[in-house]
Each structure stands twice: as C-alpha cells, then as structure tokens.
Amino acid sequence: MGPMGRQGPSSLPVPTGGSCLLLLFCLRLGASCPQSCQCPDHAGAVAVHCSGRGLQEIPKDIPTDAVLLKLDANKIARIPNGAFQHLNQLRELDLSQNAIETIGPAAFSGLAGGLRLLDLSHNHIRRIPKDALGKLSAKIRLSHNPLHCECALQEALWELKLDPDSVDEIACHTAVQEEYVGKPLIQALDSGVSFCSVHHKTTDVAMLLTMFGWFAMVITYVVYYVRQNQEDARRHLEYLKSLPSTPVSKDPISPAP
C-alpha cells in the first residue's frame, strides 16, 4: 500500500497552534460563561453579554475576569448582597431596562475600586440605597426611575458621581413638595431647593405637637386631681354636718359617799 494508505494512530493529524487556542477558548466558554449568554474574549478582556435573555436574577457563573457585564433588558427585580463580589476586574456594569426595585446595602461590594460605569436607568427604583452606591467611584446612571424626592434622596445624591450625560433626565416621580413632581431633580437642587429643610420643619412641628400634647395631658390631670380632692373634702364636710349633735349634760356631779 502506498504512502496515502491506512494511517495508524501515530499518523493522526496533530492540531496546529491556532486550533489549540481555539479549542481552549471554546472549552473556557463552555465552562464559565452563563447559560444563554455570550462571552467573547478580545485581547484577554472578557465581555459577558446577557442582554434581553429574560433573566430574573443575577447569573451565578459569571467569569471572574469579566471586564464588561451587560444584563440590560431583562426581568431582574432585586440585586442581593454580594451579587458581584467575585468580579474585581469589572469595569462596566449595565443593569438598565430591568424591573429593579430593591438593592441590597452590600450589592456592589468588591466593585468599589475598579468599576467605571454603573447603569441603573429605566428601572423601578424609588429610593437610592446610599450604603450600596456611596462607596463606588463609578459614574452612575439613574435616569427614568420613579424616584421619590425627599431629604434622604438629596443626601444620597451628594455622595454619588452621577453620569453627566444623563443627570438632567433624573426627575421626581413623587416628592415631599408636590410642586416638584415631574420636574428634573438636579434643576430643582441647583435652584436652591432643599428637601431636607421641609423634613426638618415637619420634624420640628411634630415634636412641638407631641410636647403640647404631653403638657395638655399633665394640666388635665392636675385639674382633675384638684377637683377630685375638692369634691372629696366637700362630701366629707357634708357628712360631718349630717351627724346628730350630742347634748351636753348640765347636772352637778354628786359627791362620792
């Protein structure tokens, strides 16, 4: 049989260097990329694309070396504590267009140093979790959320690094001052409006009302106590007057025999 005849095991084709790299890359994707997501690797930088996959929670098996994570356009309603704590190389996190209402105070632990952009726009967030976002150095997008404009929100915003391209789209869905409902939040704050002054005034009024209530209750008790004592004294005096008087004997005392 000639040279092109049956080949033994020793003559099987050996994968080239490029084929080996491709094989390793495919194995890597199968082992670490979340199901239904795509994890392209460009020059060693891993991007995880899970956009529009109908996800209801954060995937557990995100590659630890991911630098970009897109979870937008899903059905995620909450971000639990430690959801991204193993992703210390993450630079951009897109959680926009979900149904997020609740964010744990330690939801973004492990991301404080490296994260550069956090997109939380187009969600159902009413109150900003200062404990969760305050330690981040990333630019944060919060536009198109039904925010409740109050003192706590104002204090939280002072500690955040808001994305300048979307900051004007942050509006008050509800507010402690109704005249600012539907208006841009930053515009109101820049004009000198303080939701905290309203909060303090409300607190002061409530405190004054409470003190007045206690004072009125004490006065009422004192008046009742005095009147009750007067009534008891009057009844006792009437009782004494109603007693029959004992006549005094005027007979001389007879001497002893």
37 assigned to some structural domain: no
- Based on the fold, state whether residues 65 and 160 are members of the same structural domain: yes
Q: Answer yes or no: do 53 and 137 share one domain.
A: yes
- Would the pTM count as exceeding 0.85? no
Domain that holds residue 185: 47-193
Cα–Cα nearest to 177, from 214, 200, 150: 150
User: Where does the pLDDT of residue 32 fall: very low under 50, low under 70, confident under 90, or very high at 90 and above?
Assistant: confident
Same domain, 51 and 68: yes
Q: Kindly tell me if the per-residue pLDDT of 94 is higher than 80.
A: yes
Residue 255 in any domain: the answer is: no
Dist CA 242 CA 230 (whole Å): 18
Position 257 in a domain:
no
> What does the pLDDT average to over 44-57?
95
Is the pLDDT at 248 greater than 90, yes or no? Answer: no
Position 22 scores a pLDDT of 43
pLDDT (mean) for 117-138: 94
Q: Is residue 94 part of a domain?
A: yes
Taking residues 205-222, report their average pLDDT. Answer: 71
User: Could you say which DSSP state residue 246 is in?
Assistant: P
Confidence of residue 91 (pLDDT cuts 50, 70, 90): very high
- For residues 184 and 191, give the distance between their C-alpha atoms in angstroms, rounded to a whole number: 11
Q: How many domains does the chain have?
A: 2
The total number of residues written for the chain in this structure: 257
Q: How many CB atoms lie within 10 A of CB 227?
A: 10
Q: Half-sphere exposure of residue 102, counting CA atoms within 13 Å on the CB side?
A: 7
Calculated CA dihedral for residues 129, 113, 121, 171, nearest 10 degrees? 60
- b or e along 52-77 (b: 16 or more beta carbons within 10 Å of the residue's beta carbon)? ebebeebbeebbeebbbbbbbbbebe
Q: Domain check: are 188 and 212 in the same one? A: no
pLDDT of residue 203: 53
In 57-138, the DSSP E strands lie at 66-70, 78-79, 92-94, 102-103, 117-119
Q: Which of 241, 208, 127 has the alpha carbon at shortest distance from 173? A: 127
**Residue 14: per-residue pLDDT:** 42
Residue 132: its pLDDT value, please? Answer: 93
For residue 74 the two structure tokens come to 């899903």
Query: Residue 124 — very low, low, confident or very high, per pLDDT cuts 50/70/90?
Result: very high
Average pLDDT, the chain: 81
Q: pLDDT at position 109, please?
A: 94
Co-location of 104 and 218 in the same domain: no
Q: What is the CATH number of the domain that holds 143?
A: 3.80.10.10
Q: In sequence order, what DSSP letters do the residues of 166-222 get, joined into one string?
A: TGGG-BEEEESSGGGTTSBHHHHHHTT--HHHHHHHHHHHHHHHHHHHHHHHHHHHH
For range 178-206, the mean pLDDT: 78
Tokens of 15: 């994968």
Q: Name the pLDDT band for 54 (thresholds 50, 70, 90).
A: very high
Bridging pattern class, strands 45-49 and 41-42:
antiparallel
Give a yes or no: residue 30 inside a domain.
Answer: no
pLDDT band at residue 113 using 50, 70 and 90 as cut-offs: confident
pLDDT of residue 216: 75
Query: Rounded mean pLDDT of 2-6?
Result: 38
